[in-house]
Chains A and B, each alone.
Chain A
């Protein structure tokens, strides 16, 4: 984290951030905060969108250098769209995550961006994949990322249950984001949540003052 701190002064805008993705029974919820900062001192944007749609039922959330993340997702979005047209069917979530992984791994010297890819496909249903900084690809039932995630590992490990309902999962994700944004100085703003199911995609935005409050708030 120290390296990232120094680098951000060279790289400019970074997303000290909190991002997460959680599978539930029938879908997946992907969420993030909305703060972009420079060097951890100045908030360059209070309402940035870190949830990028790379295909109809596949989203990705970004952490790290914003410029790098945007460049990578733009390239990945193009590749996935082309792949989907060639295949004549919606892409697998694994395929989308692999495309991001290839980009991150092959350019690991220059890039400093990590992703969480989540979505729904006909073959395996709801899935969550982490693509770490150097290009590691890992599939998990849920995952948290960004600088704010360090403050909620305990909460996430204790409160996650497999096969939750959509409402339980929404509560879990909202609480997790609220707790992280409450303690991490470089995460904040509003909570963005996207619910992805076979039927479609639903965006939920929770402004800072409507987030769940915990003790002494």
Chain B
């Protein structure tokens, strides 16, 4: 499954004979080892869900958040090396803030994601630095442009999405996301579906406990990106757990 670069993979400034930059591909592997994060755009907003694995019972609940606020109207969910993601969130914050300072209005998400992607890309050009080992999903809501969702990966490209997933279970998550009719859903409906998808893709055997981080931005929050309120979160988690049990039950019937 993994191919070895042997000699052409020592620095980001070297191409392999078949035209690949192995350091960037290795950076993407770092993202694939991290737990899953998903972002889905609906009719009136964007919802993020992150499967945050809890490695020790001694951790304070809610520490090492993987969803960041980049600007009032922009949120960022990350997968990969958390320290790399934190420094990129600072880059995104400064960019958004400078834009507002210069031009007097909120930065459009497409522009922000292109700027941060350009920054990430710069670290794939030189042997003196290593590429960022994280992917992230940016989401925002604006009254005129509506909800927007963009994803940036370690190679430095950004794409716009209706739904995307990053991390170890991204394939399984993408399959679940494709089943949704997100263009017709509202944020309140979507929050429950996002929680359900995270619960579905979570591997009970390999990874033990996890915390579900949920956040949203849309008409429901008046354009402000924030973590989902406690009551909505509990409702979403209950819906997710109940759906899983139902599926388990139906499997038993077939057998």
Interface residues, chain A, CB within 8 Å of chain B?
83, 86-87, 91-92, 94-95, 97-99, 101-102, 123, 137
B102 is contacted by which of A87, A92, A102, A123 (Cβ under 8 Å)?
Answer: A102
Known contacts A86-B111, A87-B108, A87-B111: A92-B103 contact under CB 8 Å: yes
A98 is contacted by which of B102, B108, B111 (Cβ under 8 Å)?
Answer: B102
B104 is contacted by which of A86, A123, A137 (Cβ under 8 Å)?
Answer: A137
Residues B104 and A83 in contact, CB atoms below 8 Å apart: no
Could you say which residues of chain B place their CB within 8 Å of the CB of A87? 108, 111
- In the complex, A123→B104 CA distance in Å? 14
Shortest distance between the CB of B180 and any CB in chain A (Å):
30
Number of B residues near A (Cβ < 8 Å) is: 8
Shortest distance between the CB of B196 and any CB in chain A (Å):
37
B105 at the interface (CB under 8 A from A): yes
Q: Which residue of A lies closest to B100 (CB)?
A: A98
Q: Which residue of A lies closest to B107 (CB)?
A: A87
Shortest distance between the CB of A152 and any CB in chain B (Å):
29
22 A-B Cβ contacts within 8 A? A86-B111, A87-B108, A87-B111, A92-B103, A92-B104, A92-B105, A94-B103, A94-B104, A94-B105, A95-B103, A95-B104, A95-B105, A97-B104, A98-B102, A98-B103, A98-B105, A99-B102, A99-B103, A102-B101, A102-B102, A123-B144, A137-B104
Shortest distance between the CB of A140 and any CB in chain B (Å):
15
Could you say which residues of chain B place their CB within 8 Å of the CB of A102? 101-102
Could you say which residues of chain A place their CB within 8 Å of the CB of B102? 98-99, 102
- In the complex, A86→B114 CA distance in Å? 10
Shortest distance between the CB of B200 and any CB in chain A (Å):
38
Q: Which residue of B lies closest to A124 (CB)?
A: B144
- In the complex, A95→B104 CA distance in Å? 6
A-B interface pairs (CB < 8 A), number: 26
Residue-wise, chain B 153-197 has the 8 Å CB interface mask toward A (1 for contact) of: 000000000000000000000000000000000000000000000
- In the complex, A191→B101 CA distance in Å? 35
Residue-wise, chain B 105-134 has the 8 Å CB interface mask toward A (1 for contact) of: 100100100000000000000000000000
Q: Which residue of B lies closest to A98 (CB)?
A: B104
Could you say which residues of chain A place their CB within 8 Å of the CB of B111? 86-87
Shortest distance between the CB of A51 and any CB in chain B (Å):
22
Could you say which residues of chain B place their CB within 8 Å of the CB of A99? 102-103
Determine which residue in A95, A97, A137 has the highest number of CB atoms from chain B within 10 A of its CB, and name it: A95
Could you say which residues of chain A place their CB within 8 Å of the CB of B103? 83, 91-92, 94-95, 98-99
Could you say which residues of chain B place their CB within 8 Å of the CB of A95? 103-105
Could you say which residues of chain B place their CB within 8 Å of the CB of A97? 104
- In the complex, A97→B104 CA distance in Å? 8
Shortest distance between the CB of B17 and any CB in chain A (Å):
37
Could you say which residues of chain A place their CB within 8 Å of the CB of B105? 92, 94-95, 98
12 more contacts with CB within 8 A, not counting A87-B111, A95-B103, A98-B102, are A86-B111, A92-B105, A94-B103, A94-B104, A95-B104, A95-B105, A97-B104, A98-B103, A98-B104, A99-B102, A99-B103, A137-B104
Shortest distance between the CB of B184 and any CB in chain A (Å):
26
Q: Which residue of A lies closest to B145 (CB)?
A: A123
Q: Which residue of B lies closest to A139 (CB)?
A: B104
Could you say which residues of chain A place their CB within 8 Å of the CB of B101? 102
Residue-wise, chain B 87-110 has the 8 Å CB interface mask toward A (1 for contact) of: 000000000000001111100100
Determine which residue in B102, B108, B144 has the highest number of CB atoms from chain A within 10 A of its CB, and name it: B102
When A and B form their complex, which 10 residue pairs have the shortest distance between CB atoms, in order from nearest? A98-B104, A95-B103, A94-B104, A98-B103, A123-B144, A94-B105, A102-B102, A95-B104, A92-B105, A87-B111
